[in-house]
């Protein structure tokens, strides 16, 4: 029995929830500073309104937000509810990884990508960009971790299938419509996701992300009468589909094969 096995599974899940909330706290810094290309390390966190540095004791994920009643201690300005939400979501995702994959090396490879996925989602919603500072290291990481998880061939084909199909789609869209439909950030994202997940799962992400995006777009058009060409960021749907692929990918592929009559 290894030392890992002496700690019960639920305790690992609990630890990863706490760790995830701490990472979520740092993710909030990234979400605020990456689009402006600011340093992530300096200056230390301060109130966006009055610039008062935040005391370490007021920087405890979720708890500080609740204790301060969602207001800055110095100027009493409301703190965005985004902060605790990002912390809780990152915590839940990292707990979910350990719940699914256990205390394994595999888990660690999946844990590492959870904060970046949350950061990408928030930055794309707010600024309609996916920063190169995440996707370019993501491609390198995807190829390394993907090779370990599925073998280098699957990882490399996933990279080519993901990045290549989006590159082609963007090119076709640009030529037929004369406007840019898909940003370079989406292309680099799906290349990284393909490298990390392998070619089978990147297909799940492409189909799933497109389906989710189309459903949301149709809903948005009928509810809010959004103009057809209003750009809805694609990143959040790709991230959601990536998460579905990680947590339920094999089940989704089985469902599809059964529905298509290719598997009993």
Nearer to Zn ion, 50 or 214 (CB): 50
User: Which residues lie closer than 8 Å to 221 by C-beta, 6 or more apart?
Assistant: 228
Output phi, psi for 93, to 5 deg.
Answer: -65, -45
Which C-beta is closer to Zn ion: that of 54 or that of 88? Answer: 54
Q: Is 218 in the site for Zn ion (CB under 5 A)?
A: no
Rounded Cα distance between 244 and 96, Å, is: 12
Closer CB to Zn ion, residue 44 or residue 151?
44
* Minimum CB–partner distance for residue 80 and Zn ion (Å): 12
Both structure tokens of 114: 């959870």
Sequence-distant (6+) residues with CB within 8 A of 104 are none
Binding status of residue 49 toward Zn ion by CB under 5 A: yes
Contact criterion met (CB below 8 Å) for 81 and 70? yes
Rounded least distance, CB 75 to Zn ion, Å: 3
- Kindly state the smallest distance separating residue 53's Cβ from Zn ion, in Å: 10
Q: Judged by CB under 5 A, does residue 126 bind Zn ion?
A: no
Nearer to Zn ion by C-beta: 77 or 171? 77
Q: What is the closest distance, in whole angstroms, from the C-beta atom of residue 6 to Zn ion in the complex?
A: 45
Instruction: With CB under 5 A as the rule, give the number of residues binding Zn ion.
Output: 7
Minimum Å gap between C-beta 46 and Zn ion is: 8
3-class SS of residue 108:
helix
Among residues 50 and 257, whose Cβ is nearest to Zn ion? Answer: 50
Is 47 a binder of Zn ion (CB under 5 A)?
A: yes
Angle of CA points 189, 195, 197, to nearest 5°:
95
Binding track, positions 94-113, relative to Zn ion; x by CB under 5 A: --------------------
Burial class (CB in 10 A: 0-12, 13-18, 19+), 178: exposed
Collapsing DSSP to helix, strand or coil, 78 comes out as: strand
Q: Say what the alpha-carbon torsion angle 31, 37, 41, 43 is, to the nearest 10 degrees.
A: -100
Q: State the residue for tokens 């089985």.
A: 254
Greatest Cα pair distance, the chain, in angstroms, is 63
Out of 7, 40, 50, 67, name the contact with Zn ion by CB under 5 A.
50
- Binding to Zn ion (CB under 5 A) within 56-95 occurs at 72, 74-75, 77
Q: Which stretch binds Zn ion (CB under 5 A): 40-48, 146-154, 182-190, 233-241?
A: 40-48
Q: Is 54 left (phi over 0), alpha (psi -120 to 50) or beta?
A: beta
Query: What dihedral do alpha carbons 236, 241, 242, 247 form, nearest 10°?
Result: 130
Residue 55 near Zn ion by CB under 5 A: no
50/136 with CB nearer Zn ion: 50
Compute the least distance from the CB of residue 73 to Zn ion, in Å. 7
- Interface residues with Zn ion (CB under 5 A) are 47, 49-50, 72, 74-75, 77
């Amino acid at each position: 029995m290894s030392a890992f096995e002496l700690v019960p599974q639920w305790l690992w899940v609990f630890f990863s929830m706490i760790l995830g909330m701490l990472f979520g706290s740092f993710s909030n810094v990234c979400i605020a500073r990456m689009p402006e290309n600011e340093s992530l390390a300096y200056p230390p966190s301060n109130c966006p309104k009055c610039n008062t540095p935040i005391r370490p004791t007021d920087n405890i994920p979720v708890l500080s937000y609740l204790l301060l009643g969602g207001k800055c201690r110095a100027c009493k300005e409301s703190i965005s509810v985004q902060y605790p939400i990002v912390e809780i979501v990152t915590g839940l995702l990292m707990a979910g990884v350990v719940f699914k994959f256990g205390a394994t090396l595999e888990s660690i490879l999946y844990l590492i990508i959870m904060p970046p996925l949350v950061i990408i989602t928030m930055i794309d919603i707010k600024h309609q960009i996916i920063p190169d500072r995440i996707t370019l290291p993501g491609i390198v990481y995807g190829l390394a971790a993907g090779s370990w998880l599925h073998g280098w061939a699957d990882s490399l084909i996933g990279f080519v299938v993901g990045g290549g199909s989006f590159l082609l789609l963007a090119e076709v869209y640009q030529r037929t419509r004369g406007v840019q439909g898909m940003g370079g950030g989406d292309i680099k994202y799906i290349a990284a996701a393909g490298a990390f997940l392998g070619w089978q799962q990147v297909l799940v992400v492409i189909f799933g992300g497109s389906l989710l995006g189309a459903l949301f777009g149709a809903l948005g058009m009928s509810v809010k009468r959004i103009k057809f060409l209003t750009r809805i960021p694609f990143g959040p749907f790709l991230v959601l589909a990536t998460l579905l692929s990680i947590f339920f990918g094999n089940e989704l592929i089985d469902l599809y094969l059964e529905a298509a009559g290719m598997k009993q």
